[in-house]
Structure 1
Amino acid sequence: MGKIILYHGTPNKVVTPVFGGGDDKHDYGRGFYLTENINLAKEWAVCRPNEENGWVHKYELITDGLKILDFQEYNVLSWLAELMKHRDAADSKRYRMLAAKFIEKYGIDTDAYDVIKGWRANASYFYIAREFVRDNIDMDILEELLSLGGLGIQYCIKTEKAYSQLHELGEELMSVDYKEFNNKYNQRDIEARNNMRELVDSDVNKVTNVFSTLF
């Protein structure tokens, strides 16, 4: 039997994953989001500026018979296209027009999958996305930028079948100290954005193979 251990960081002590729950505007749309990295889950549990401690819930996902889409196995443009379906990187008319074309060309039909696995779009991602759609980032440095962003890999539970194979290990619920892990979250973000700006401003970024040339 195939299974993986996953963690869900949240401000809530009680969590009930429900098929059809979640937010359409989240990275991969509606679903329940988890990660294999317990430390990232702790940071995500207290990433809001509200001074409140959080919780990490531990789960076991039985993977038998599940179709899992792993964006790490695809071109990074496919991942960006998926995010553009759900999240706006800019509010300009130009972006809306180009995003639709971009999704049409590089997007993957995810409807047949039970679980989606890929990077998490945090504040660093939005910096990358904004600069990318403004034609300020060359394709040649895009993957390196994303790795500098320290985005972390997340799993999104999408279908009724996947929810039925996800079980919480309730006795292993963990409390997360706000001060310690919110500080780690913010430091990671500051460091990531500094590293990314340095790369965008460097001569390695040729700015020739850019967003608007990809159609």
Structure 2
Amino acid sequence: MGAANITCVDSSEVMLEDAQSKLKAQSNVNYVQGDAAHTILADKQCDVVLERALIHHIPREELAACFAEALRILRPGGTLIIQDRTPEDCLLAGSQTNIRGYFFARYPKLAKQEVERRHDNATVMSALHQAGFRVVQKRQLWETRQIHTNFAALERDLKARTGRSILHELSEAELSDLNEYIRRQLDSDYQAIVEQDRWTIWSAMR
């Protein structure tokens, strides 16, 4: 985004250390331990606040408080950008690129858990307006998650459950079964797989 200064906020010291290791070449980044509703940042400090893959961890009744904190630290005219998945994003059918869809086709119990922790668009929009944001826009984004050289590379990634917390709900036997199911859905074991995730993006102006 070309920001002059960046502040990373997380409640987990481990996550902040991980961010610091990945951004060590950047000299314009600060790291603050806090949570989304209590960032401890100063009033009207930020031009942009980005909350990526955050709000599904926040209960519905606490969303407005989370957004109110973003409003507090934004300068007038600043923008809050939220990137997360709605139930509709999660339940799209599996395809050569939307691998996640196959999780729920094979194991409907995962779909139930995934939907329960996701907020629909109406809930997010209502909480943003309740927090005091005046202009809210929404759009969808297909983001390339990873390019796997072949199915074996995808299988290794799935077995590691990297960035896929929902797969921790499966036993090792179920995970092996899921991998075999996905293999049967794909066109070839040997061609590259461009894996994408569908997100919803909300932009809200202070």
TM class by smaller structure: under 0.3
TM-score, normalization: structure 2? 0.23
Task: Pick the structure with more strand per residue.
Answer: 2
Answer 1 or 2: higher relative contact order, Cα 8 Å, separation at least 6.
1
Q: Which has the larger radius of gyration?
A: 2
